[in-house]
């Protein structure tokens, strides 16, 4: 470490409250722009600044406060909910760190926290993050696993599907398609167990169409893109 670097860090520690305050000012302005009274915005910003110091992203915290304000939640409950979310994200960050990711990004931490809030266990989060490797597919992978679990597939099954999809190098678009696919199968009367098997087996059919902007509800063929790649679109 160079001497200049050391001095810079020493000054940073001195400035930490000011630097955090500067960051907090951005959050406060954003919250006030959405109608939150100044004192409430200040309280939320304080929670957010504390969270940032713990390596947790403050964007989702501000979003949560804005959501609470929109839903007319009383101010004290908004602050309490934001604090709880910050704590959940701190735990989620630990889970992501334990997967060997040196600097977890905001989106991954937020997705992991939401997944854990829906019942996913830390080791399951770890599996998904590890399978994602270096790409940006971890966050969507976690969201998809959480959604599949909520749709009635067991959490182990949901994780297995997502990890399997990642290992067979399915694209992000194929991954993001899974909850819709599962939903369609459910409508056709398939049980969660059947759905799990069908998706894992990567049932046949082409399905290489990356359609742009069409509503695509019931008109899609009931196939799942196979494990083999067809397109490079959306692949990371």
Largest Cα span, the chain: 68
Q: Which stretch binds another protein (CB under 8 A): 123-131, 134-142, 159-167, 191-199?
A: 134-142
Do the beta carbons of residue 216 and residue 183 sit within 8 Å?
no
Binding flags for another protein, 54-83, as an x/- string (CB under 8 A): -x-xxxx--xx-xxx-xxxxxxxxxxxx--
Q: Using CB under 8 A, which of 92, 99, 101, 110 touches another protein?
A: 110
Residue 117 in the binding site for another protein (CB under 8 A) = yes
Q: Using CB under 8 A, which of 45, 86, 101, 111 touches another protein?
A: 111
Residue with Cβ nearer another protein (100 or 217): 217
As measured in angstroms, the least distance from the Cβ of 63 to another protein is: 7
Residue 192 in the binding site for another protein (CB under 8 A) = no
3-state secondary structure 126-140: HHHHHHHCCCCCHHH
As measured in angstroms, the least distance from the Cβ of 201 to another protein is: 20
Residue with Cβ nearer another protein (139 or 166): 139
**Number of residues this chain uses to bind another protein (CB under 8 A):** 92
Dihedral angle over CA of 84, 86, 64, 80, nearest 10:
30
Residue with Cβ nearer another protein (193 or 208): 208
Do the beta carbons of residue 92 and residue 75 sit within 8 Å?
no
Picking from 190, 211, 202, 193, the residue whose alpha carbon sits closest to that of residue 229 is 202
As measured in angstroms, the least distance from the Cβ of 162 to another protein is: 11
Distance between CA atoms of residues 112 and 89, nearest Å: 8
> Structure tokens of 63?
């979003």
SS3 at position 200? helix
Question: Whose structure tokens read 């695509």?
Answer: 216
Residue 209 in the binding site for another protein (CB under 8 A) = yes
> Structure tokens of 199?
């998706």
Residue with Cβ nearer another protein (63 or 94): 63
Binding flags for another protein, 151-180, as an x/- string (CB under 8 A): x-------------------xxxxxxxxxx
Q: Using CB under 8 A, which of 17, 29, 37, 154 touches another protein?
A: 37
Buried b (16+ CB within 10 A) or exposed e, 36-58: beeebbebbbbbbbbbbeeebbb
As measured in angstroms, the least distance from the Cβ of 126 to another protein is: 20
Q: Using CB under 8 A, which of 106, 122, 164, 227 touches another protein?
A: 106
Question: Whose structure tokens read 């304000």?
Answer: 69
């Amino acid at each position: 470490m160079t001497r200049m670097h050391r001095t810079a860090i020493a000054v940073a520690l001195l400035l930490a409250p000011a630097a955090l305050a500067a960051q907090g000012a951005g959050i406060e302005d954003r919250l006030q722009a959405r109608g939150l009274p100044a004192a409430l915005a200040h309280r939320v910003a304080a929670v957010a600044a504390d969270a940032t110091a713990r390596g947790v992203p403050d964007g989702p915290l501000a979003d949560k406060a804005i959501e609470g304000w929109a839903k007319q939640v009383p101010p004290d409950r908004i602050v309490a909910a934001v604090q709880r979310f910050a704590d959940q994200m701190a735990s989620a960050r630990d889970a992501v760190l334990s997967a060997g990711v040196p600097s977890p990004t905001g989106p991954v931490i937020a997705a992991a926290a939401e997944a854990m809030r829906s019942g996913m266990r830390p080791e399951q989060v770890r599996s998904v993050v590890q399978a994602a490797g270096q790409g940006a597919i971890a966050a969507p992978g976690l969201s998809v696993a959480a959604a599949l679990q909520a749709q009635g597939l067991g959490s182990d099954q949901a994780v297995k599907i997502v990890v399997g999809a990642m290992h067979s190098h399915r694209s992000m678009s194929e991954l993001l398609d899974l909850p819709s696919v599962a939903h369609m199968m459910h409508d056709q009367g398939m049980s969660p167990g059947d759905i799990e098997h069908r998706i894992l087996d990567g049932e046949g059919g082409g399905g290489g169409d990356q359609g742009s902007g069409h509503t695509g509800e019931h008109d899609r063929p009931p196939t799942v893109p196979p494990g083999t790649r067809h397109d490079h679109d959306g692949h990371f």
